Structure 1
Amino acid sequence: MEKLGLKEKLKQTYNGKKVFVTGHTGFKGTWLLLILKELGATVKGYSLEPEDSKDFFEGVNGQSQCQHVIGDIRDRERLKKEVLDFQPDFIFHMAAQALVLESYQNPAETYDTNLMGTVNLLDALRFMEKPCKAIMITTDKVYENLERPEPYDETERLGGYDPYSNSKACCELAISSYRNSFFNISDYPKHYKSIAAVRSGNVIGGGDFSENRIIPDLVKSMRKGEPLIVRNPSAVRPWQHVLDPLSGYLQLGMKMNEDPVEFADAFNFGPETNDVLTVEELVKTALDSWGEGSYEVAKNIDQPHEANLLKLDIAKAKAKLGWKPFFSAENAIQTTIEWYRKSENTDMTDLTIAQINLFFDAQ
Structure 2
Amino acid sequence: MHKNVSFGLARLLLSGHFDYSLRTKDDKEETTVKNIISSSQGNYSSFLEVSGTINSLIAKGGENHLRVLITGVAGFVGSHLADFLVSQGYEVWGIVCPGSNYESVEHLRHNVRLVRCDVRDEQAVKKALVDSSSQYIYHLAARTVTFESRRCPRETYEVNFLGTVNVLEGALALKESPHILIPTSAEMYGDVSAGRAPLEENEIFRPLHPYAVSKVAVHYLIQQYVRVHNLQVVEARAFNQIGPRQKLGFVVPDFAAQLAKVALGRDRNEIRVGNLKAQRDFLDVRDAVRAYVRLCEVGRPGEVYHVCSGIGVSIEDILKTLMKFVDVPVNVVIDPEKLRPIMAPILIGSNKKLVRETGWTPQIPLETSLRETFEFWLKNIEQEHTKGEA
- Shorter-chain TM-score: what band? 0.7 to 0.9
User: Kindly tell me: are residues 314 and 56 of structure 1, through their superposed partners in 2, closer, same or farther at Cα, counting changes over 3 Å?
Assistant: same
SS of the aligned residue for 1:239 comes to: strand
Letter in 2 for 1:107: P
User: Kindly tell me: are residues 119 and 276 of structure 1, through their superposed partners in 2, closer, same or farther at Cα, counting changes over 3 Å?
Assistant: same
SS of the aligned residue for 1:307 comes to: coil
SS of the aligned residue for 1:64 comes to: coil
Quote the Cα distance in structure 2 between the aligned partners of 1:51 and 1:122: 23
- Note if contact 1:73-1:117 (Cα within 8 Å) is conserved in structure 2: yes
Quote the Cα distance in structure 2 between the aligned partners of 1:98 and 1:164: 7
- Greater Cα shift, 307-316 or 148-157: 148-157
Find the counterpart in structure 1 of residue 219 from structure 2.
172
TM-score of the two chains, using structure 2 as the length reference? 0.75
Quote the Cα distance in structure 1 between the aligned partners of 2:283 and 2:327: 21
Find the counterpart in structure 1 of residue 374 from structure 2.
337
SS of the aligned residue for 2:202 comes to: coil
Quote the Cα distance in structure 1 between the aligned partners of 2:281 and 2:98: 29
Letter in 1 for 2:89: G
Q: C-alpha root-mean-square deviation of aligned residues, in Å?
A: 2.6
Find the counterpart in structure 1 of residue 13 from structure 2.
none
Find the counterpart in structure 1 of residue 45 from structure 2.
none
- Note if contact 1:290-1:341 (Cα within 8 Å) is conserved in structure 2: no
1:225 to 243, 267, 278: 267
User: Kindly tell me: are residues 41 and 57 of structure 1, through their superposed partners in 2, closer, same or farther at Cα, counting changes over 3 Å?
Assistant: same
- Note if contact 1:93-1:135 (Cα within 8 Å) is conserved in structure 2: yes
Find the counterpart in structure 2 of residue 73 from structure 1.
119
Letter in 2 for 1:109: E
CA shift, 1:285, in A, is 0.4
CA shift, 1:95, in A, is 0.2
Letter in 1 for 2:141: A
Find the counterpart in structure 1 of residue 32 from structure 2.
none
Find the counterpart in structure 1 of residue 304 from structure 2.
266
SS of the aligned residue for 2:199 comes to: coil
- Greater Cα shift, 143-152 or 163-172: 143-152
2:86 to 21, 26, 37: 37
Letter in 2 for 1:24: V
- Greater Cα shift, 141-150 or 311-320: 141-150
SS of the aligned residue for 1:296 comes to: strand
User: Kindly tell me: are residues 123 and 279 of structure 1, through their superposed partners in 2, closer, same or farther at Cα, counting changes over 3 Å?
Assistant: same
- Bigger RCO (CA 8 Å, 6+ sep): 1
CA shift, 1:298, in A, is 2.2
CA shift, 1:335, in A, is 3.6
- Note if contact 2:192-2:345 (Cα within 8 Å) is conserved in structure 1: no
- Note if contact 2:130-2:174 (Cα within 8 Å) is conserved in structure 1: yes
Find the counterpart in structure 2 of residue 162 from structure 1.
209
- Note if contact 1:25-1:49 (Cα within 8 Å) is conserved in structure 2: no
TM-score of the two chains, using structure 1 as the length reference? 0.80
User: Kindly tell me: are residues 11 and 197 of structure 1, through their superposed partners in 2, closer, same or farther at Cα, counting changes over 3 Å?
Assistant: farther
User: Kindly tell me: are residues 216 and 299 of structure 1, through their superposed partners in 2, closer, same or farther at Cα, counting changes over 3 Å?
Assistant: closer
Letter in 2 for 1:251: R
CA shift, 1:263, in A, is 5.2
How do 1:48-197 residues align onto structure 2 when only pairs under 5 Å count? Answer: 48-49=97-98, 51-52=100-101, 55-58=103-106, 60=107, 62-149=108-195, 150-183=197-230, 193-197=231-235
1:46 maps onto 2:95 in alignment: yes
Quote the Cα distance in structure 1 between the aligned partners of 2:174 and 2:341: 42
2:349 to 295, 307, 312: 312
1:17 to 59, 63, 66: 66
Structure 1: any 5+ residue segments left out of the alignment?
Answer: 1-7, 184-192, 257-261, 347-363
Find the counterpart in structure 2 of residue 323 from structure 1.
360
Q: Deviations over 1:235-268 (max 9, x none)?
A: 1111111111111011122325xxxxx4552111
Give the number of equivalent residue pairs: 318
Return the index of the structure with the highest Cα Rg.
2
Letter in 1 for 2:109: Q
Find the counterpart in structure 1 of residue 239 from structure 2.
201
SS of the aligned residue for 2:144 comes to: coil
Find the counterpart in structure 2 of residue 248 from structure 1.
291
User: Kindly tell me: are residues 299 and 24 of structure 1, through their superposed partners in 2, closer, same or farther at Cα, counting changes over 3 Å?
Assistant: closer
User: Kindly tell me: are residues 323 and 113 of structure 1, through their superposed partners in 2, closer, same or farther at Cα, counting changes over 3 Å?
Assistant: same
User: Kindly tell me: are residues 124 and 292 of structure 1, through their superposed partners in 2, closer, same or farther at Cα, counting changes over 3 Å?
Assistant: farther
CA shift, 1:228, in A, is 2.3
SS of the aligned residue for 2:347 comes to: coil
- Note if contact 1:144-1:157 (Cα within 8 Å) is conserved in structure 2: no
Quote the Cα distance in structure 2 between the aligned partners of 1:101 and 1:293: 30
Among all aligned residue pairs of Structure 1 and Structure 2, give the percentage whose two residues are the same amino acid: 24
- Greater Cα shift, 122-131 or 241-250: 122-131
Letter in 2 for 1:268: H
Quote the Cα distance in structure 2 between the aligned partners of 1:335 and 1:63: 23
User: Kindly tell me: are residues 133 and 52 of structure 1, through their superposed partners in 2, closer, same or farther at Cα, counting changes over 3 Å?
Assistant: closer
